Homo-oligomer: A and B are copies of this chain.
Amino acid sequence: MNTLDVAGKLRGAGLRPTRQRVCLAELLFREGDRHVTAEKLHEEAARDDVRVSLATVYNTLNQFTQAGLLREVAIEGSKTYFDTNTSGHHHFYVEKTGELFDITDGVCLAQTPQAPEGMEISRIDVIVRLAERR
């Protein structure tokens, strides 16, 4: 995906393609599925000699999420992960390292639970926690 595409993608999402948004979007979307924290993306940008403040990385990730370009992943603990794959899928989480990656086999629920009165299911998250084999 080149710079023009990214700019278009941002415009399409209603986001002005500023230098920092374009750079971050390239980092996020040039490879396949990615799972990043704000901190990691910030470091990565720094490595690429892209000057972006950490605050802007946070703001940008939130804007991308609101725009539907990213999805937040629910993990207990302090850090928030963002996933470039916004379609419904589940995750492995390596407890020791904090790594997060997609489950590729077609894991799904045997039955969809019944939502309580007046409520509807907005999303189902499945996290499979992994530990080293003893």
Contacts and interface: CB of A to CB of B under 8 A. Distances in A.
Interface of A: 72-77, 80, 90, 92, 94-95, 103, 105-116, 118-134
Contact of A80 (B76, B80, B95, B126): B76
Q: Nearest 9 A-B pairs (CB), nearest first?
A: A74-B76, A122-B131, A119-B130, A110-B110, A123-B129, A125-B127, A120-B133, A107-B113, A122-B129
B130 A115 contact: yes
This chain's copy number in the assembly: 2
A133 B131 CA distance: 38
Contacts of A133: 118-120
Given A74-B74, A80-B76, A125 B122 contact: no
A124 B121 contact: no
Contact of A129 (B107, B108, B125): B125
A116 B93 CA distance: 11
24 contacts: A74-B77, A74-B127, A75-B76, A76-B80, A92-B113, A92-B115, A92-B116, A105-B114, A107-B110, A109-B109, A113-B128, A118-B133, A120-B130, A120-B132, A120-B134, A121-B131, A122-B129, A122-B130, A122-B131, A123-B129, A124-B127, A125-B126, A125-B127, A126-B127
